[in-house]
């Protein structure tokens, strides 16, 4: 058995920006056509789990479409794919449910979507500017090879150089400086309980951890908490067993 996972995040009919690269209905349909023409067939979670449990895997090439983060716009993809008989899998981070704030990753995406990297850097307190200036450009470029030098430095500094607590504090202060309404953005960006229940009806939901922290860098206790809490929250809401995870 050959298994291909095609992962998506944003799903919207608008041009890509410096920080948001959405899939569209047109690009999704084009992907389906290409995959089908090369002999790939879509598989659902139930069949995959049965194959794993029985250690008996179907022959041929099989593919999943997955969507991470629990963005409300992904519900349009969910309904569109169902109309084509395709069951995609959606993996929300449970901290977003009913939240009045954004996950760090989306805070930075939206900030860079609205404000230039140069303006962001110029608005930083001096200590942050100085720290960014001394970062090795090659190190930043190795992590963000498709970004321009200033963007690579800014993203590396916020995502890797400073602690999680300092990152949240810095992003919140930048939202205040640029008058961005985080609560309003979060309310419209993330799935709600009704959306999660809809996904569970077709076994199309799994975990993307609780707070979207990179699981590979967590200690054992934090890792267990991230996974257990997310699983319990989703199972309490949907009444369904959560069997899969797409790790951040």
How confident is the model at residue 81, as a pLDDT?
A: 97
How confident is the model at residue 213, as a pLDDT?
A: 87
User: b or e along 190-225 (b: 16 or more beta carbons within 10 Å of the residue's beta carbon)?
Assistant: bbeeebbebbbeebbbbbbbbbbbeeeeeeeeebee
How confident is the model at residue 12, as a pLDDT?
A: 92
How confident is the model at residue 219, as a pLDDT?
A: 92
How confident is the model at residue 54, as a pLDDT?
A: 86
- DSSP character at residue 121: H
The low-confidence residues of the chain, meaning pLDDT below 70, are none
How confident is the model at residue 1, as a pLDDT?
A: 84
- Looking at 9-103, list the stretches that DSSP marks H as alpha helix, in order from N- to C-terminal side: 25-37, 45-54, 74-83
How confident is the model at residue 69, as a pLDDT?
A: 97
How confident is the model at residue 55, as a pLDDT?
A: 86
């Amino acid at each position: 058995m050959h298994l291909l996972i095609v992962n998506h995040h944003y799903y919207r009919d608008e041009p890509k920006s410096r920080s948001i690269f959405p899939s569209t209905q047109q690009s999704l349909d084009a992907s389906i056509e290409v995959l089908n023409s090369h002999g790939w067939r879509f598989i659902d979670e139930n069949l995959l789990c049965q194959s794993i449990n029985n250690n008996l895997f179907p022959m041929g090439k099989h593919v999943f479409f997955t969507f991470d983060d629990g963005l409300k716009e992904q519900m349009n993809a969910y309904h569109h794919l169902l109309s084509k008989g395709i069951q995609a899998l959606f993996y929300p981070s449970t901290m977003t449910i009913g939240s009045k704030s954004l996950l760090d990753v989306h805070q930075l995406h939206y900030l860079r979507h609205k404000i230039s990297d140069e303006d962001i850097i110029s608005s930083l307190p001096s200590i942050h500017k100085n720290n960014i200036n001394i970062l090795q450009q090659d190190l930043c470029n190795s992590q963000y090879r498709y970004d321009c030098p200033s963007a690579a430095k800014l993203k590396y500094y916020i995502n890797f150089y400073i602690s999680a607590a300092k990152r949240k504090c810095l992003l919140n202060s930048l939202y205040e400086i640029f008058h961005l309404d985080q609560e309003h953005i979060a309310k419209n960006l993330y799935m709600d309980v009704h959306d999660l229940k809809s996904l569970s009806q077709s076994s199309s939901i799994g975990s993307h951890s609780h707070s979207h922290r990179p699981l590979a860098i967590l200690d054992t206790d934090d890792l267990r908490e991230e996974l257990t809490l997310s699983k319990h929250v989703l199972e309490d809401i949907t009444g369904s067993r959560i069997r899969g995870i797409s790790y951040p």
